[in-house]
């Protein structure tokens, strides 16, 4: 065995390029998996690691599911005999440029003295009595590129606040992008007097608290909070995981193609080994050991690369997570040994499994096959093998069509992709044969015929290439198609001319009345949202006839049911809500409101992409009655013809000193801005998969060019010029790239359709109108051809300048 | 071994170590609030104690927010029914601050309150302590004529008796303390000078002997107790001069019925300040102010705490005009307060130097030796 291993070592010495490509291929796949896995953990931990670090890891939290709680509750509890240490916290989201920050305002004097209090005395001192004093961790200070004493400008509900960083607080990644302030100062500054977001208490105080808490308040522990964060981000994380596994699959194709090719190159050596008594098992063992070492080393490098990459990937998802789920995640990842070991084992096992076919082939090499004859391609594979790709495609598609939950759809997608992978070489060879038939005796025809003679060796390369290209393009098309759908939806829904919001004070019914009397205003609409316990929203709408037209009905017709909605008997639900709760028009739903549980009829289901947690819309008057809340988050102004916007703005600022007008166009831009930020991670992963595809392409093409050295030598000896020979090599590599990319086109459409029509609805609850944006293909096709030509250039040059004699002598 | 394999092994080891290093959990320094920072909230223009002013009661029991610092200080020696020894301390501190801005919030405060609760268990030689803070807002803490409280720890005065109730989780006190003697005004009618500068002084009065009974809980065990307590009330601004490092304070209940308070103020070089003072209270309640020259004291034994700080726990005390020649010994060594303030506060035994017989009990407070 030792001898055998030495022989493979010598082989890799002579072909370092192969070795490097195999390592890079597997490393790139593992890197993406590692990066995404690390990022997933951060998303689950995001919700409350910061307060945990301040109040102790084992803490429970008192929350009011209806929203902020009254601070007098804290006083009542804290003054009760035997009260546990309680920490009152007011949390709020702040925006600094494009970055979301979390304001954690607390009473430092209430921090448990015996516990892991991580606010230093000198740090908290300056907090007291200064309205804008704030603390940040050293990491956050560096991330914001600030120094102690500097001013940090943030926006809080549209209003600018200038905070002074008075000191640094000790803390790790859980305090990333957290701003710590004193409760009094924060209430003063944000105008949230009397409010607390939650109260933290030690976990052993559960019984004491449960006995004394008012009924409407809840106690939730760290596990429940993690679960809630996990379910909030479930769709997003499932998407990321699927993408990362696809990347790994492509990486495995690379290692498979390299190993398969290595076997081909070493048939002679192996034949000799078998002749001198090396058993089948030993040959198999040799190849398995090679795979183990290559995959093991590659995976190790992948873990390191993935760790380096994770922070970058995380930065791409942090902002959408903050915008969509109101969670400020840590900016750093925290790898665990378990995660590293699991990913490493997964990669190595999958690599071994992927080369199973190669092992079987190696086993079949007869002893004494010394002659490097052109390997006889096996033909006439059994019908089972021939029909397997079709079977996989059908099975995958069937699974996708019949299931309603996400994991089986992802499994179905994988099965379908495996079918594509197997189908690719078959179709590819057909295409080549057709091209060869068309070009007949020309040099191109000859070059392609040479390719066809080694179709089995090319199969893995064609699979890997076409699949990777298809994935990149498919994901790109899905994102672009989705964007177009969202754009249409926004354009339809946002149909007021301009929207009024206020940064301070209130908009309420009297504001509506005031505006209604303005001559430039034709109609008004208003909305008020509240967040429910499960993250879903309830919105109260004041709708005018044009606003009603903004809805796109997916089930039932809300316009027809308008009377029942306006009378407050019926509600409208968004598609994600309907899908999650299995609701359709005509059903009834129960809603827990501050005025008790109320039953509503579902009048219709409408298209909505604003939250994947679902939304229930009801008429404003009913909402105000049930929630006892007369405020509006925004008022839509429908203007008459020829209204002078500047004059209107002037009038608004006089009537509503803290008011802002936002035009329809900028609402659309903001919505698409959020969308683009949300899908930056998908683009990043698509590009990573594309890069792995490029590695696979280069690896396959280089191998192809180098492997056929002897045949090229023959051509050269027969009188083919150097330029002619180079042309043959270039033709071969470019046409291989061309078939890969051609095959990638239908595959990418399939992937795009599956992601848009099956994965998105199941992950987020919304359906997408299928469109076929072809830009990703328009980029990838020329790129693949270019890489094909470039990857052929080196072997072409090398072969053309090689003396054919020694190579011919070998036979 | 071949060079290439060696290089690969080195690379594998390097990568592996780097990955292992990535999985480390960052160490978090554990730090606590410091009292000094609470007092640093603004220099402020607090009133200073510069001359004797007649005190009237019960008004003087309430807080004096025009001065920067103030405390309500109970210490006491107790016995269980089985004759076991226990000591306790309950102190409510007030620190005035002058906020830079008026904040529009119910949490806005110009006062920070701190409470210290400690129990010395002579049976196991165990020292229990608990510290808590609250801002002077929303009624979380305060002091008026009849009630001194910080959240659910409180002292309520009804008629002539102070009722203390405080639960620190692992131990709890429930005591009724009834004065046996009238209020003693320290210094000159309660004007207690502590340094050369005008304002290096405090208002200071004591109730030196309170008959105490009640119960103490340690873990699950509740013990009925009786004994004697001492109440000190003091307030002022910038009391110590810059040359002073701290004080050694004795509150002794002598078996002959007299009570002796001695406050040795220490200069930065360790010498006794000329501003040291004392008070001798007779069984009939009459009191005599002791000048610095009228008593002397000498350290007999030092104890070193875990942080390496040295504390003088045993003393020799002479008050010739009262005919007292005493030795005091800490009942046990580790009654070291470690919180936002570093001090030693514990029960001590009083022994007559000549006869070597027990002569009373007391409490000793040592400040300025440790870190805080």
Q: Which of B190, B161, B191 is nearest to B174 (CA)?
A: B161
* Two tokens, residue B362: 């007391």
Tokens of A286: 């040799």
- Among A38-42, A328-332, A391-395, B342-346, the minimum mean pLDDT is found in A328-332
* Interface residue A182 vs chain B (CB under 8 A): yes
Least confident interval from A507-516, B34-43, B57-66, B96-105: B34-43
Q: In this structure, is the dihedral angle defined by the CA atoms of residues A576, A579, A580 and A586, taken in order, positive or negative?
A: positive
Contact A324, A232 (CB under 8 A): no
3-class secondary-structure state, position A540: strand
Cβ contact (<8 Å) for B97 and A122?
no
* pLDDT score at A377: 45
CB nearest to B32's CB, from A13, A117, A193: A117
Residue A594 has a pLDDT of 84
Q: CATH number of the domain at B280, please.
A: 2.40.370.10
Contact A335, B26 (CB under 8 A): no
Residue-level pLDDT at A619: 93
Q: What is the mean pLDDT of residues A287-304?
A: 89
Choice between A535 and A56, residue whose per-residue pLDDT is larger:
A535
- Closest-CA residue in chain A for B114? A109
Between chains, do B109 and A111 touch, taking CB under 8 Å as contact?
no
Judged by a CB distance cut-off of 8 A, whether residue A670 touches chain B is no
pLDDT tens figures, A649-670? 888 888 887 788 888 888 888 8
| Confidence band of A612 (pLDDT split at 50, 70, 90) | confident
How far apart CA B67 and CA B49 sit, in angstroms, is 8
Mutate to test the interface with B, among A121, A132, A334 (most CBs of B within 10 A): A121
Does A337 sit within 8 Å of B28, measured CB to CB?
no
Question: By the CB < 8 Å criterion, does A336 face chain B?
Answer: yes
Share of chain A above pLDDT 70, in %: 86
Who wins on pLDDT, A27 or A808?
A27
> Residue B146 sits in which domain range?
65-99+109-367
Question: Is the pLDDT reported for residue B29 higher than 60?
Answer: no
Q: Measured between CA atoms, how close is B63 to chain A, in angstroms? A: 20
Query: Which of these ranges, A230-239, A347-356, A595-604, B341-350, has the smallest mean pLDDT?
Result: A230-239
Q: Three-class SS of residue A524? A: strand
ipTM: 0.84
CB spacing of B29 vs A337 below 8 angstroms:
no
Give the whole-angstrom CA distance, residue B307 versus residue A640: 79
Say whether B107 and A110 touch across the interface (CB within 8 A): no
Instruction: Write the pLDDT tens digit of every residue in A728-777.
Output: 888 888 888 888 889 999 999 998 998 888 888 887 888 888 888 888 88
Q: What is the DSSP string of A402-434?
A: H--SHHHHHHHHHHHHHHHHHHHHHHHHHHHHH
Round to whole Å and give the CA distance between A178 and A176: 5
Contact B106 A194 (CB under 8 A): yes
Burial of A587 (0-12, 13-18, 19+ CB in 10 A): middle
Q: Which residues of chain B does A71 touch, with a Cβ-Cβ cutoff of 8 Å?
A: 106-107, 138
A129 touches chain B (CB under 8 A): yes
Q: Is A15 helix (H, G, I), strand (E, B) or coil?
A: coil
**What are the residues whose beta carbons fall under 8 Å from the beta carbon of A629, sequence distance 6 or more?**
A528, A530, A540, A623
The minimal CB distance from B19 to the residues A85, A119, A307 is found for A307
- What confidence tens digit (pLDDT) does each residue in A468-497 have? 888 888 888 988 888 888 888 888 888 888
* B140 with A53: Cβ contact below 8 A: no
Nearest Cα residue in chain A from B150? A79
Nearest to B107 among A107, A111, A116 (CB): A107
Question: Residue A446: helix, strand or coil by DSSP?
Answer: helix
**Can you tell me the distance from the alpha carbon of A440 to that of A433, in angstroms, rounded to the nearest whole number?**
10
Mean pLDDT calculated for residue range A503-522? 84
Query: How many Cβ atoms from other residues are within 10 Å of residue B255's Cβ?
Result: 12
Question: B152, A340: Cβ pair inside 8 Å?
Answer: no
Q: Is the pLDDT of residue A395 over 60?
A: yes
What is the C-alpha to C-alpha distance for residues B90 and B210, in angstroms, rounded to an integer? 14
Is B119 a residue whose pLDDT tops 60?
yes
Average pLDDT, chain A: 81
Res B320: pLDDT: 94
Give the chain A residue whose CA is nearest to the CA of B5: A9
Q: Which of A190-194, A323-327, A382-386 has the highest mean pLDDT?
A: A190-194
Q: Which residues of B touch A75 (CB under 8 A)?
A: 138-140
B312: β partners:
B302
Residue A428 zone, left/alpha/beta (φ > 0; ψ -120 to 50; rest): alpha
List the single residue in B19, B99, B140 with the smallest CB-CB distance to A304: B19
The tally of CA atoms less than 13 A away on the side-chain side of residue A628 is 5
Q: Look up the pTM and report it.
A: 0.70
The residue whose two tokens read 């003295």 is A113
Contacts across the A-B interface (CB distance below 8 Å) = 159
Average pLDDT rounded to a whole number, residues A79-106: 86
- pLDDT tens digits for range B147-178: 999 999 999 999 889 999 999 888 999 999 99
Residue B335 confidence (pLDDT) above 80: yes
Give the residue from chain A lying closest to B135, CA to CA.
A109
**Helix, strand or coil, per DSSP, at residue B324:** strand
Q: List, in sequence order, every residue forming a beta bridge with A762; answer none if it has no partner.
A: none
- DSSP bridge pairs for B166: B173
Q: Which of B7, B20, B22 to mutate to test the interface with A (most CBs of A within 10 A)?
A: B22
For residue A527, give how far its alpha carbon lies from the nearest alpha carbon of chain B (Å). 29
* CB of A655 less than 8 A from some CB of B: no
3-state secondary structure (DSSP) of residue A39: helix
Q: CA-CA distance, A744 to B150, in Å (whole number)?
A: 73
Has residue B38 been placed in a domain? Answer: no
Answer whether residue A375 shows pLDDT above 60.
no
Structure tokens at A282: 């030993």
pLDDT in tens, A118-148: 454 455 566 776 788 888 888 888 888 888 8
Q: Name chain A contacts of B152, Cβ cutoff 8 Å.
A: 78-83
Beta bridge partners of A600: A589
Name, of A539-553, A757-771, B246-260, the range with top average pLDDT.
Answer: B246-260
Q: What is the chain B residue with the closest CA to A54?
A: B30
Indicate left, alpha or beta for A549 from its phi (over 0: left) and psi (-120 to 50: alpha): alpha
pLDDT at B355: 94
Domain-embedded: residue B35: no
The residue behind tokens 């905070």 is A163
Per residue in B181-206, pLDDT tens?
999 999 888 898 888 877 788 899 99
Min distance A691 CA to chain B CA atoms (Å)? 23
- Look at A194 and B137 and tell me if their CB atoms are within 8 Å: no
Name the percent of chain A lying above pLDDT 90. Answer: 10
Residue of A nearest to B372 (CA): A121
Domain count, chain B: 1
Minimum mean pLDDT range among A29-38, B33-42, B269-278? B33-42
- Chain B residues with CB under 8 Å of A129 CB are 41-42, 97-101, 103, 108, 110
Query: Residue A635 corresponds to which tokens in the numbers above?
Result: 């008022």
- Tell me how far apart the alpha carbons of residues A86 and A95 are, in angstroms, rounded to a whole number: 29
CB A525 within 8 A of CB A544: yes
* A82, A118, A128 ranked by CB distance to B41: nearest: A128
Give the torsion sign (CA, B352, B357, B359, B362): positive
Q: Is pLDDT of A381 > 60? A: no
B30 has pLDDT over 70: no
Sign of CA dihedral A610, A615, A620, A624: negative
Beta strands in B291-341 (DSSP E): 296-304, 310-319, 324-330, 336-338
Cβ-based burial of A368 (10 A; exposed 0-12, middle 13-18, buried ≥19): exposed
Mean pLDDT of A388-409: 87
A117 vs B37: CB contact, 8 Å cut-off? no
The rounded distance, in Å, linking the Cα atoms of A793 and A791 is 6
Q: Is residue B363 in a domain? A: yes
User: Does pLDDT of B31 surpass 50?
Assistant: no
CA gap A177, A159 in Å, rounded: 19
Residue carrying the six token digits 């601004």: B237
Model confidence at A355, pLDDT cuts 50, 70, 90, reads confident
Q: Do B15 and A301 touch (CB under 8 A)?
A: yes
Q: Is A187 on the interface with B (CB under 8 A)?
A: yes
pLDDT value of position B14 = 93
Q: Chain B residue with minimal CA distance to A87?
A: B134
Alpha-carbon distance B38 to A445, whole Å? 88
Enumerate the residues of chain B whose CB falls inside 8 A of the CB of residue A335.
Answer: 19, 22-23
Higher pLDDT, A93 or A355: A93
Determine whether the interchain pair A300/B15 forms a contact, defined as Cβ–Cβ distance below 8 Å: yes
Task: Find which of B2, B4, B19 to mutate to test the A interface (most A CBs within 10 Å of its CB).
Answer: B19
The interaxial angle of helices A455-493 and A406-439, nearest 10 deg, is 120
B175 within domain boundaries: yes
Q: How far is B174 from chain A (nearest CA, A)?
A: 12
Q: Six-digit token pair at A512?
A: 């509506």
Which ranges in A355-382 belong to alpha helices (H)? Answer: 356-363
- A5 near B CB under 8 A: no
Structure tokens of B310? 């040295």
Per residue in A20-67, pLDDT (tens digit) is 877 887 888 888 888 888 887 777 665 555 555 555 556 788 888 767
Using a CB-CB cut-off of 8 Å, the residues of chain B touching A187 are 103-107
């Amino acid at each position: 065995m030792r001898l055998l291993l030495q022989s493979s070592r010598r082989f890799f010495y002579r072909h370092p390029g192969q070795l490097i490509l195999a390592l890079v291929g597997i490393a790139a796949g593992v890197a993406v998996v590692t990066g995404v896995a690390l990022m997933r953990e951060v998303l689950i931990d995001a919700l409350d690691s910061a307060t945990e670090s301040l109040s102790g890891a084992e803490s429970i939290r008192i929350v009011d599911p209806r929203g902020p709680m009254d601070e007098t509750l804290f006083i009542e509890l804290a003054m009760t005999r035997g009260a546990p240490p309680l920490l009152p916290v007011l949390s709020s989201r702040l925006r600094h440029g494009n970055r979301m920050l979390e304001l954690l305002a607390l009473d430092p004097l209430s921090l448990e003295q015996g516990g892991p209090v991580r606010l230093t005395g000198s740090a908290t001192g300056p907090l007291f009595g200064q309205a804008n004093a704030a603390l940040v961790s050293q990491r956050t200070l560096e991330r914001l590129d600030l120094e102690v004493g500097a001013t940090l400008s943030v926006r809080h509900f549209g209003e600018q606040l200038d905070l002074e960083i008075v000191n640094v607080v000790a803390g790790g990644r859980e305090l990333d992008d957290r701003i710590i302030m004193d409760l009094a100062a924060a209430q003063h500054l944000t105008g949230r007097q009397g409010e607390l977001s939650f109260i933290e208490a030690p976990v052993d105080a559960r019984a004491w608290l449960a006995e004394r808490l008012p009924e409407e308040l809840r106690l939730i522990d760290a596990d429940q909070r993690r679960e809630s964060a996990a379910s909030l981000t479930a769709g997003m994380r499932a998407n990321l995981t699927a993408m990362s596994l696809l990347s790994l699959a492509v990486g495995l194709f690379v290692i498979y193609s390299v190993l398969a090719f290595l076997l081909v190159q070493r048939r002679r050596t192996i034949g000799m080994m078998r002749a001198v008594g090396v058993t089948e098992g030993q040959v198999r063992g040799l190849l398995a050991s090679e795979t183990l070492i290559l995959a093991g080393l590659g995976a190790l490098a992948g873990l390191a690369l993935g760790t380096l990459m994770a922070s970058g990937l995380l930065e791409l998802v942090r902002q959408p997570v903050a915008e969509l789920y109101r969670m400020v995640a840590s900016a750093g990842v925290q790898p665990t040994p378990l995660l590293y070991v699991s990913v490493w084992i997964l990669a190595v096992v999958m690599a071994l499994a992927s080369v199973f076919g190669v092992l079987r082939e190696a086993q079949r090499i007869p002893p004494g096959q010394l002659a490097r004859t052109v390997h006889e391609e096996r033909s006439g594979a059994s019908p089972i093998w021939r029909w397997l790709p079709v079977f996989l495609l059908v099975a995958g598609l069937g699974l996708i069509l019949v299931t309603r939950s996400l994991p089986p759809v992802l499994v179905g997608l994988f099965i379908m992709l495996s079918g594509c992978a197997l189908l690719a070489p078959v179709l590819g060879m057909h295409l080549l044969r057709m091209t060869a038939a068309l070009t007949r005796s020309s040099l191109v025809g000859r070059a392609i015929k040479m390719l066809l003679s080694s179709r089995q060796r090319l199969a893995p390369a064609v699979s890997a290439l076409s699949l990777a290209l298809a994935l990149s393009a498919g994901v790109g098309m899905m994102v672009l198609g989705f964007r177009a759908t969202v754009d249409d939806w926004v354009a339809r829904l946002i149909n007021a001319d301009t929207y009024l919001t206020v940064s301070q004070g209130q908009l309420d019914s009297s504001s509506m009345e005031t505006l209604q009397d303005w001559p430039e205003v034709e109609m008004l609409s208003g909305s008020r949202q509240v967040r429910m316990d499960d993250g879903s929203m309830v919105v109260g709408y004041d709708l005018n006839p044009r606003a009603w037209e903004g809805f796109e009905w997916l089930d039932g017709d809300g316009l027809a049911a308008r009377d029942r909605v306006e009378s407050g008997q019926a509600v409208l639900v968004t598609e994600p809500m309907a899908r999650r709760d299995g609701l359709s028009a005509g059903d009834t739903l129960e809603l827990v409101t501050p005025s008790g549980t109320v039953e509503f009829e579902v009048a219709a289901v409408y298209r909505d992409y604003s939250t994947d947690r679902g939304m229930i819309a009801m008429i404003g008057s009913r909402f105000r009655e049930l929630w006892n809340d007369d405020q509006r988050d925004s008022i839509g102004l429908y203007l008459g013809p020829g209204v002078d916007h500047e004059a209107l703005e002037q009038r608004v600022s006089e009537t509503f000193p803290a008011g802002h007008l936002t035009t329809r166009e900028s609402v659309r831009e903001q919505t698409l801005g959020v969308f683009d930020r949300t899908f930056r991670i998908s683009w990043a992963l698509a590009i990573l998969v594309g890069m792995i595809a490029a590695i696979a392409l280069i690896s396959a093409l280089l191998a192809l060019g180098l492997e056929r050295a002897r045949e090229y030598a023959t051509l050269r000896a027969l009188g083919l010029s150097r330029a002619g020979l180079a042309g043959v090599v270039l033709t071969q590599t470019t046409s291989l790239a061309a078939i890969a990319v051609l095959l990638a086109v239908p595959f990418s459409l399939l992937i795009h359709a599956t992601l848009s029509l099956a994965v998105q609805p199941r992950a987020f609850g919304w359906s997408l109108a299928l469109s076929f944006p072809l830009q990703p293909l328009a980029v990838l096709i020329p790129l693949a051809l270019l890489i094909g030509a470039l990857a052929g250039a080196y072997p072409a040059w090398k072969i053309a300048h090689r003396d054919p004699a020694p190579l011919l002598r070998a036979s | 071994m071949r060079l290439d394999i060696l290089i690969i092994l080195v690379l594998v080891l390097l990568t592996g170590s780097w990955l292992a290093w990535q999985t480390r959990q960052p160490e978090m320094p554990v730090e606590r609030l410091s009292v000094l920072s609470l007092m640093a909230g603004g220099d402020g223009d607090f009133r200073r104690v510069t001359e004797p002013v007649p005190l009237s009661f019960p008004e003087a029991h309430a807080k004096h927010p025009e001065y920067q610092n103030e405390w309500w200080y109970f210490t006491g020696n107790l016995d269980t029914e089985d004759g076991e020894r226990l000591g306790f301390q309950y102190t409510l501190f007030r620190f005035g601050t002058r906020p830079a801005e008026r904040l529009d919030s119910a949490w806005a405060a110009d006062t920070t309150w701190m409470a210290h609760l400690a129990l010395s268990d002579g049976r196991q030689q165990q020292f229990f302590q608990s510290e808590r803070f609250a801002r002077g807002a929303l009624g979380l803490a305060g002091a008026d004529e009849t009630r001194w409280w910080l959240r659910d720890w409180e002292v309520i005065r009804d008629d002539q008796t102070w009722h203390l109730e405080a639960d620190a989780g692992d131990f709890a006190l429930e005591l009724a303390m009834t004065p046996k003697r009238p209020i003693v005004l320290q210094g000159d009618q309660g004007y207690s000078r502590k340094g050369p500068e005008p304002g290096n002084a405090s208002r200071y009065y004591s109730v030196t002997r309170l008959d105490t009974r009640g119960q103490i809980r340690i873990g699950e065990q509740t013990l009925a107790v009786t004994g004697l307590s001492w109440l000190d009330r003091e307030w002022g601004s910038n009391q110590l001069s810059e040359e002073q490092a701290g004080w050694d304070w004795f509150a002794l209940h002598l078996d002959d019925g007299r009570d002796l308070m001695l406050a040795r103020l220490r200069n930065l070089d360790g010498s006794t300040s000329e501003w040291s003072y004392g008070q001798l209270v007779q069984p009939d309640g009459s009191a005599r102010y002791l000048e610095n020259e009228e008593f002397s004291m000498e350290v007999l034994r030092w104890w070193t705490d875990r942080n390496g700080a040295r504390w003088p726990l045993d003393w020799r005390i002479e008050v010739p005009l009262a005919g007292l020649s005493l030795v005091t010994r800490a009942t046990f060594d580790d009654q070291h307060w470690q919180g936002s303030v570093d001090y030693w506060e514990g029960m001590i035994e009083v022994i007559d130097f000549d006869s070597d017989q027990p002569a009373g009990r007391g409490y000793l407070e040592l400040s300025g030796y440790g870190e805080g």
